[in-house]
Amino acid sequence: MGWANRITILRAILSISVCASVFHWESLSASGYWWLISMTILAMTMDALDGWVARHTHTESSFGARLDMEIDAFLLLSLSLLVFLSGKIAFWIVFLGLIRYCFVICGEIWPFLQKELPVSWRRKIVCVIQGIALVICLVPLTSESLAWRIGASSLGLLLSSFWIDIRWLYKTGVLGEI
């Protein structure tokens, strides 16, 4: 357990505190939302730090990368639920947090989706944009119409990113076997 994984575990703790708010969303005040936003920004900043530490200490591992990705997915799911529960956006916003899990389930049905994807800056950037978009939607000052536009744009970007990966996996998996 190197320093990078320790930072990721600390991010997991911050993400769990954000997730816990999902179960008490009705008691969140404006200051409660600002606290959630602060914890999320801290967790997202640490997300950039853990990868940097792993690369610079030559301790990158598939375990660390997977742990990092799952913490990201968990935080995005928690944030998307909080945005929905805030009443600013309908339930469709939760799909921002569910799409990773839907992809994993689909991989059980269509095994070509389980093939490892090459490292992609596009994927990393889209993930960061999802987090930023959800944080902006949570800000108490953000109007419902702005939150809806940001959420819809973010979901469209995420769906197109997944489509690119699914198409690549299909072509290299299914068509590659023919």
What pTM was estimated for this model as a whole?
0.89
The pLDDT of residue 164 is above 80: yes
Which 8-state DSSP code applies to residue 88?
Answer: S
- For residue 156, give both structure tokens: 């469209």
In the predicted model, what is the mean pLDDT of residues 147-153?
Answer: 97
pLDDT at res. 62: 85
In the Cβ-directed half-sphere of 129, how many Cα atoms lie within 13 Å?
17
List all residues 6 or more positions away from 8 whose beta carbon is below 8 Å from its beta carbon. Answer: 46, 50, 64, 67, 68, 71
Q: For the segment 70-90, what is each residue's pLDDT rounded down to a tens digit?
A: 999 999 999 999 999 999 999
Counted residue by residue, the chain has a size of 178
pLDDT at res. 65: 84
The pLDDT of residue 178 is above 60: no
pLDDT at res. 63: 87
Fold of 3-177: Four Helix Bundle (Hemerythrin (Met), subunit A) (1.20.120)
**64 band by pLDDT with thresholds 50, 70 and 90:** confident
Q: For the chain, which residues make up each domain, given as ranges?
A: 3-177
The answer to whether residues 79 and 40 touch, using CB atoms and an 8 Å cutoff, is yes
pLDDT at res. 25: 83
Q: For the segment 97-139, what is each residue's pLDDT rounded down to a tens digit?
A: 999 999 999 999 999 999 989 889 999 999 999 999 999 999 9
List all residues 6 or more positions away from 86 whose beta carbon is below 8 Å from its beta carbon. Answer: 25, 33, 137, 138
Chain CA centroid to CA 94, Å: 11
List all residues 6 or more positions away from 95 whose beta carbon is below 8 Å from its beta carbon. Answer: 80, 155
pLDDT at res. 176: 62
Which of the pair, 93 or 65, is modelled with greater confidence?
93
Closest CA to 166 of 107, 102, 113: 113
Measured on CA atoms in the order 177, 99, 164, 66, is the torsion positive or negative? negative
pLDDT at res. 82: 95
